[in-house]
Amino acid sequence: MVLSDEAKKKEEQYFFERERQLLEEMRKKREARIAEAQAREAEEERKRLRDLHYMRCPKCGHAMEEKDLESIKVDVCTLCEGIYFDRGELEQLLVGKQSEVRRGFFRSLFGLGKE
C-alpha cells in the first residue's frame, strides 16, 4: 500500500507532534525532580544550620540552658550568662505591669535584688 503525499505529511506531522508531547512531558518530570531535590536539600541545610546553632549562645557559642523567669522560659548562656528571649517573651513579661514591678523585674534579672 502506497501512501499519498498528503497522507505522508499527516503521518509525519502526527509523529512530530507525538515526539514533541513526549519530550515536553519528560522535561516537566525532570524539572519537578530537580525542584523536589532542591527543596529537599534546602530543608536539610536549614535543619543542619538549626542543629549547629540550636541552644548556642550567639555571643560566645557555648551551650545555653532554659531557666524559668516569672513563668517564662528564657535562654541563659552557661559561660557568659547572657540572657536571651524568644520572640514575644519580653513583651509577655512586661505587658500590663506597673513601672515599679518592671523595675523590680529588671533588678532581679540583673541579680541586683531589691533595695
- The 10s digit of each residue's pLDDT in 65-98 is 998 877 788 899 999 988 898 888 887 877 766 6
Q: How many CB atoms lie within 10 A of CB 55?
A: 13
Beta carbons within 10 angstroms of residue 74's beta carbon:
19
* Residues 60 and 81 sit within 8 Å (Cβ to Cβ): no
In this prediction, residue 115 carries a pLDDT of: 47
Contacts of 105 (CB under 8 A, 6+ apart): 70, 93, 94, 97
User: What is the per-residue pLDDT across 17-54, written as a single tens digit (0 to 9) for each?
Assistant: 999 999 999 999 999 999 999 999 999 999 998 888 88
C-alpha cell belonging to residue 73: 522560659
The model carries a pTM of 0.47
Give the chain's length: 115
